[in-house]
Amino acid sequence: MAKDLLHQWKVSESADLYGIKEWGAGYFDLNDKGEAVVRVRYPSGIVEVSLMDVVQGINARGLGSPVLLRIQNLLDMQITLINESFRKAMKTLEYKGEFRGVFPIKVNQQHEIINEIIQFGKQYHHGLEAGSKAELLVALAMIASTESPLICNGYKDAEFIDLGLQATQMGYKVFFVVEMPSELPLIIERSRATGIRPNIGVRLKIAAKGGGHWSDSGGDNSLFGLTATQIVDVVDALKAEQMLDCLKLVHYHLGSQIPNIRDIRVAVQETVRFYADLVEEGAAMGYIDLGGGLAVDYDGSRTNFVHSMNYNIGEYCLDVIEVVMQVLDDKGIEHPTVITESGRATVAYSTLLVFDVLEASRTETRDLPEKLPEDSQELLLNLEETLRIVNVKNLQECYNDAVYYREQVREHYKLGQITLRNRALAENYFLAIMKRVVTLKAKIKRMPAELENLESALFDVYYGNFSVFQSLPDSWAIDQVFPVIPLHKLNEEPTRKAIIADITCDSDGKLDRFADFHDVRRTIPIHDLDNLDEYYIGVFLVGAYQETLGDFHNLFGDTHVVSIRINEDGSFDFVAEQEGDTIADVVSIVHYDPKTLIRLFREKAELAVRQKRLTVSERRRVMDNYEAGMNGYTYFKR
């Protein structure tokens, strides 16, 4: 891996290695000092801030890592991008309707995020999507413009419907999207009881399916939505109640992170057919809601790979509008307001997780003896010989032998026939052979399959101060890949290869899938920790879904959250600061009373005094420690 000594590693080589220009979408890059930077656009030009300057600012405020860093400007810029791209596409294609974006609260429910979307999005009448009663209550309080749609998906009981109807009476644009046939009679009944006419939508169970992680949200087997037959029933029921003028919207959601633009076009086309037929049935209509699915290019490859997308937002908007027009213009139907429920694409960029590396465990061979004593155990002598003779011609054979001998050593150890020291020596010989095989295999033409990924078995383990389960749950649950890079030292060659383990002591608590242009790489190139006081890593594009789905595995709680706003003059302000959970917070979640725990422990300390195991002043120190721990951060403190 190390290049020749004369080669001076360049920042541009790090940029290529980590692909930051590709997945960074113009927001993230590296500066000449070898630090990761964030860039935001102002009318006067682009402003750049080093993420290490932000980290120093966080440390100076006494918060430390791990920390979730929000960059408010990026959220604003994505809202602008989505709205302006639709406006531009509509203008280019001479579309007569309008665009309205809505943010699905489930994607990131945090108050700060919803507030920013509503306040900044006001200029575009950006709305909200609620999928539960709790989300509806949030949306009703937060929504700021009567022009912004409030889309109600999910299960709706009478209380839910009454709240939505009352908001409609107050002038808000609330849409009840019927997802189950049973919902319609309740909406009709509550409308009759309150005398308020609802805006009704129907969620379609379309035949089209998207690729990506959530492809089951579309297609015949999707859990939600109405079939063609059930939609006909809705039309007939509304007709019978003289409420067909209330039916205004069709909606579908193909699933999140749709990587292929072709799937999006096919789904839009099918949906617009339904829309046209409902117009012809006499429904009022006027709105077509295309759900979420707009992807994020996590690996920067611009392909239809599951972590990528083979289109950009501009192309997405043009394709959607073009398909809507093709179907409706043929039939002479007026252009409706197009709504999208893009969650991931709106928030993913705005947040990154920053953590420090605590230590590294290297797969390094210790110094091996010049020569083993002749009376050494046979398996050890075999391993020594294998290391001595391995060459390009016998590579595969030596590899197989080494694997066999190591297995035998482990078997003998179990039976008590090999000492601990000899087992350690054997493991070191094995590692030395594998390293030699990796060096030599570069010289062979036809690579045996077994040897192809050998490097990835020789990785180091870097221990990061974070919990995958709390901060990056999708990486564990659905193998989601996020861009991961060191935030500094990028003017130096990263000479090691590693996976990153968290501190949950769970074997699944690790990052071992990293963004790459071709498929996924199993290790990350990383710097040697020798002579480094601190080493920070950033996991980028984590603003969507991660905060909501995180859990308290091993009682690691919410991390600190810090939000910054970058100013036009290149300075930045800390605009919000949320301290992470204390241990008292997380034990309370699992129904311990922190005060009771302190009392129980105090009783133990007092008993120890009586038993003369502790002096009174030692007891006091022990209790101070315990109580400080209870009120402290759940993560590792340096």
Ligand X SMILES: Cc1ncc(COP(=O)(O)O)c(C=O)c1O
Question: Between the CA of residue 368 and those of 378, 390, 412, 498, what are the distances in Å?
Answer: 17, 16, 21, 24
Q: How far is the CB of 310 from ligand X (least distance, A)?
A: 16
Q: How far is the CB of 155 from ligand X (least distance, A)?
A: 13
Q: How far is the CB of 139 from ligand X (least distance, A)?
A: 13
Nearer to ligand X, 211 or 464 (CB): 211
* Contact characters 203-242, ligand X, x per CB under 6 A: ----------------------------------------
Nearer to ligand X, 138 or 576 (CB): 138
Q: How far is the CB of 75 from ligand X (least distance, A)?
A: 14
Which of 210, 218, 259, 293 binds ligand X (CB under 6 A)? It is 293
Nearer to ligand X, 191 or 217 (CB): 217
Instruction: Concatenate the DSSP letters of all residues of 187-228 into one string.
Output: HHHHHHHHT-PPEEEEEB--S----STTGGGSSTT-SSSB-H
What phi-psi label fits residue 133: left (phi over 0), alpha (psi between -120 and 50 degrees) or beta?
alpha
Kindly identify the residues of this chain, within the stretch 330-389, that bind ligand X according to CB under 6 A: 341-344
Nearer to ligand X, 234 or 339 (CB): 339
Q: How far is the CB of 441 from ligand X (least distance, A)?
A: 42
Nearer to ligand X, 224 or 517 (CB): 224
Q: How far is the CB of 108 from ligand X (least distance, A)?
A: 10
Q: How far is the CB of 313 from ligand X (least distance, A)?
A: 12
Smallest CA-to-CA distance from 559 within 585, 596, 522, 536 is with 585
Could you give the angle at which helices 72-93 and 313-331 cross, rounded to 10 degrees? 40
In whole angstroms, what is the distance from residue 181 CA to residue 357 CA?
A: 53
Question: In this chain, which stretch among 289-297, 464-472, 549-557, 569-577 interacts with ligand X, using CB under 6 A?
Answer: 289-297
Question: In this chain, which stretch among 132-140, 181-189, 260-268, 291-299 interacts with ligand X, using CB under 6 A?
Answer: 291-299
The structure tokens listed for 308 are 């990528």
Q: How far is the CB of 41 from ligand X (least distance, A)?
A: 23
Per-residue exposure over 59-90, b if at least 16 CB sit within 10 Å of its own CB, e if not: eeeebbbbbbbbbbbbbbbbbebbbebbeebb
Kindly identify the residues of this chain, within the stretch 65-104, that bind ligand X according to CB under 6 A: 104
* Contact characters 431-460, ligand X, x per CB under 6 A: ------------------------------
Nearer to ligand X, 156 or 488 (CB): 156
Question: In this chain, which stretch among 263-271, 292-300, 466-474, 551-559 interacts with ligand X, using CB under 6 A?
Answer: 292-300
Q: How far is the CB of 151 from ligand X (least distance, A)?
A: 8
Nearer to ligand X, 256 or 465 (CB): 256
Which of 249, 288, 294, 379 binds ligand X (CB under 6 A)? It is 294
Q: How far is the CB of 106 from ligand X (least distance, A)?
A: 6
Pair 437, 454: CB distance under 8 Å: yes
Exposed/middle/buried for residue 240 (C-beta within 10 Å: 0-12, 13-18, 19+) = exposed
Pair 515, 300: CB distance under 8 Å: yes
**Using CB atoms, what's the residue nearest to ligand X?**
292
Radius of gyration of the chain (CA): 30
In whole angstroms, what is the distance from residue 352 CA to residue 69 CA?
A: 5
Kindly identify the residues of this chain, within the stretch 246-275, that bind ligand X according to CB under 6 A: 253, 256-257
In whole angstroms, what is the distance from residue 477 CA to residue 89 CA?
A: 37
Exposed/middle/buried for residue 389 (C-beta within 10 Å: 0-12, 13-18, 19+) = exposed
Pair 423, 468: CB distance under 8 Å: no
Nearer to ligand X, 66 or 218 (CB): 218
Instruction: Concatenate the DSSP letters of all residues of 407-467 into one string.
Output: HHHHHHHHTT-S-HHHHHHHHHHHHHHHHHHHHHHTT-SS--HHHHTGGGGG-EEEEESS-
Please tell me the count of residues contacting ligand X according to CB under 6 A. Answer: 16
| Residue count of the chain | 638
What sign does the dihedral 504-506-509-510 (CA atoms) show?
positive
Q: How far is the CB of 261 from ligand X (least distance, A)?
A: 14
Kindly identify the residues of this chain, within the stretch 100-139, that bind ligand X according to CB under 6 A: 104, 107, 129
Nearer to ligand X, 19 or 291 (CB): 291
Nearer to ligand X, 164 or 291 (CB): 291
What phi-psi label fits residue 174: left (phi over 0), alpha (psi between -120 and 50 degrees) or beta?
beta
Kindly identify the residues of this chain, within the stretch 463-522, that bind ligand X according to CB under 6 A: none
Smallest CA-to-CA distance from 344 within 529, 491, 498, 210 is with 210
Q: How far is the CB of 211 from ligand X (least distance, A)?
A: 13
Residue 437 main-chain phi, psi, to 5 deg: -60, -45
Nearer to ligand X, 292 or 494 (CB): 292
Which of 292, 336, 473, 525 binds ligand X (CB under 6 A)? It is 292
In whole angstroms, what is the distance from residue 342 CA to residue 80 CA?
A: 13
Which of 127, 291, 494, 538 binds ligand X (CB under 6 A)? It is 291
Kindly identify the residues of this chain, within the stretch 528-567, that bind ligand X according to CB under 6 A: 544
Q: How far is the CB of 566 from ligand X (least distance, A)?
A: 25
Question: In this chain, which stretch among 227-235, 260-268, 288-296, 329-337 interacts with ligand X, using CB under 6 A?
Answer: 288-296
- The site for ligand X (CB under 6 A) is made up of 104, 107, 129, 153, 253, 256-257, 291-294, 341-344, 544
